[in-house]
Structure 1
Amino acid sequence: MADPIAITRSVSIDPSEIEETFVRGAGPGGQNVNKVASAVQLRFDLENSPNIPEPMKRRVAVLAGSRLTKDGVIVIQSNSHRDQPLNRAEALARLVALLREGAFVPKPRIATRPTLASKKRRLDAKTNRSGIKQGRGKPTFED
């Protein structure tokens, strides 16, 4: 049995949850690219994964965007290398990076009010910028 793939200290996924299919790639390879299936299409069923907590699933689903199917499966394609093992490793690394990013819980933003000094700086900058723009106009001839 293969070792579990560690995402965080407490979350890991079983390699049997990942399905790989090999297709002909459009990446580098010259004439060889038309004969050899070196590109990899990695599929991970996020929706039905028992190892990932529900809040993390929601965050990963948002981060995955168009890589997530309607059935809740993440599809990652890799064809940037000429050989299959490198494409497999890259696709797996991209999946792990996506899951690690989803494991991070964003800190809630606390609304604060601007200080009096920052308001003054902002207004001074606006006045200065206004003067610069006024100087770009046509000159007036006042005698």
Structure 2
Amino acid sequence: MISELKINPEELHSEVVFQTARSGGKGGQNVNKVETKVELRLNIPNSQILSDEQKEFLSRKLANKLTNEGVLILYHQTERSQLANKEKVIQKFDRLIREAFVVRRRRRATRPTLASKRRRIQAKKQRSDTKKMRRKPPRE
């Protein structure tokens, strides 16, 4: 099921909208004059490329990164040039979309081995002995 949902992030680049703004990153006086911050927006519900199942899946996986309207917003502002920030935000977007479709393996519950139980008990005894040695000797 999930393999059918996978999509290449580059296919979505045509639906991505970029906006620029002044950023607070490094750049000295340049920061106050040039719009180097790049904001990437993808409207998932209105996407023509994504199927309904893919839209639903992405909306669930990226729920904490979406606006109330279902728009994914990412931005980058640490570089001095707008072009460098645009490249970085595209890389961030591609990685996010790829990771959204990665299915995590469920952890299989296992029991501790006999050797690990013995090591644990041995460590506890050693710690106990160390603390016993710190006590004042009993009075007679």
TM-based fold match above 0.5: yes
TM superposition score normalised by structure 2:
0.77
- Correspondent of 1:140 among 115, 137, 140: 137
Where does structure 1 differ by over 6 angstroms across 4 or more consecutive aligned residues? none
TM superposition score normalised by structure 1:
0.76
Aligned pairs for 1:56-135 (under 5 A) are 56-57=57-58, 60-61=61-62, 65=64, 67-135=65-133
Structure 2: stretches of 5+ with no match in the other structure: 1-5
Deviation at 1:114, TM superposition (A): 1.8
Report which stretch shifted further, 128-137 or 32-41.
Answer: 128-137
- Correspondent of 2:43 among 19, 23, 45: 45
- Correspondent of 2:7 among 4, 11, 25: 11
Separation in structure 2 between the aligned mates of residue 85 and residue 126 of structure 1, nearest angstrom: 58
Q: How many residues align?
A: 130
Separation in structure 2 between the aligned mates of residue 15 and residue 126 of structure 1, nearest angstrom: 57
Structure 1: stretches of 5+ with no match in the other structure: 1-9
CA distance 1:126–1:77, change in 2 (3 Å): same
Identity of aligned residues (%): 36
1:33-70 Cα shifts (integer Å, max 9, x gaps): 111111111112244441572575156315xx3x3222
RMSD, aligned α-carbons: 2.4
